[in-house]
């Protein structure tokens, strides 16, 4: 008996779907995780990512319900759709996790980030930095004769754009909080 010489996925009439349905497209997702506020929860969540080689682009954590002892972890991560689904499923299996929401998939959401940017300069560069800060609605929270510290809130893209404009004007330091996000509507 001879072996069949059929190339993998070559026939549309096969009884079996031999074509892989995996995507190589990298997507960025914002995942909100409601957890019990107890020691070690954040370490378990982060351990899930590091143990499997997943990257975290942004991470914010804060207690959101003092009486119920609940904290909200907002994670911005990227990967293929299959990796994102795997991340959500594995997060849901952690004992202290109450809810997992993929805000990117579930509908419109509001995302904001806070940044502090130190810009050193004098003369025209200093004046230009103040003019651009006004356009971006950044607030001066500290000022010396040599530098300003600007506070800016907005989307990560807005903060990136502001930082890019400040680099030639003397941007020396940046501190960012990471993304905080909520689903829109009820």
**pLDDT tens for each residue of 177-186:** 999 999 998 7
Cβ 63 vs Cβ 110: under 8 Å: no
Over 90: is that where the pLDDT of 15 sits? Answer: no
Token readout for 181 is 């996000």
Domain 27-102 superfamily per CATH? ACT domain (3.30.70.260)
Q: What is the pLDDT of residue 24?
A: 79
In order of 46, 84, 96, the CA distances from 42 in angstroms are 6, 19, 10
Q: Are strands 70-79 and 139-143 parallel, antiparallel or unpaired?
A: unpaired
Dist CA 50 CA 45 (whole Å):
9
Task: Extract the tokens encoding 106.
Answer: 């579930």
Query: What CATH number labels 109-183?
Result: 3.30.70.1150
- Which tokens belong to 138? 């950044």
In this predicted model, what pLDDT tens digit does every residue of 16-61 receive, in sequence order? 545 555 667 899 999 999 999 999 999 999 999 998 889 999 999 9
109-183 has the same fold as 27-102: yes
**What confidence tens digit (pLDDT) does each residue in 119-151 have?**
999 999 999 999 999 999 999 999 999 999 999
């Amino acid at each position: 008996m001879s072996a069949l010489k059929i190339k993998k996925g070559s026939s549309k009439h096969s009884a079996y779907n031999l074509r892989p349905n995996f995507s190589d497209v990298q997507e960025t997702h914002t995942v909100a995780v409601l957890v019990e506020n107890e020691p070690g929860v954040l370490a378990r969540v982060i351990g899930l990512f590091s143990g499997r080689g997943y990257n975290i682009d942004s991470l914010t954590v804060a207690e959101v319900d003092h009486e119920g002892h609940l904290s909200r972890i907002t994670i911005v991560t990227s990967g293929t759709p299959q990796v994102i689904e795997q991340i959500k499923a594995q997060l849901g299996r952690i004992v202290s996790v109450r809810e997992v929401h993929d805000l990117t998939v579930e509908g419109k959401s509001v995302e904001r980030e806070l940044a502090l940017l130190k810009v050193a300069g004098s003369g025209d560069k200093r004046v230009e930095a103040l003019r651009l800060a006004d356009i971006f609605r950044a607030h001066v929270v500290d000022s010396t004769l040599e530098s300003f510290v600007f506070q800016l809130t907005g989307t990560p893209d807005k903060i990136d754009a502001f930082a890019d404009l400040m680099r030639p004007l003397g941007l020396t330091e940046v501190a960012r909080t990471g993304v905080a996000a909520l689903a829109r509507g009820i």
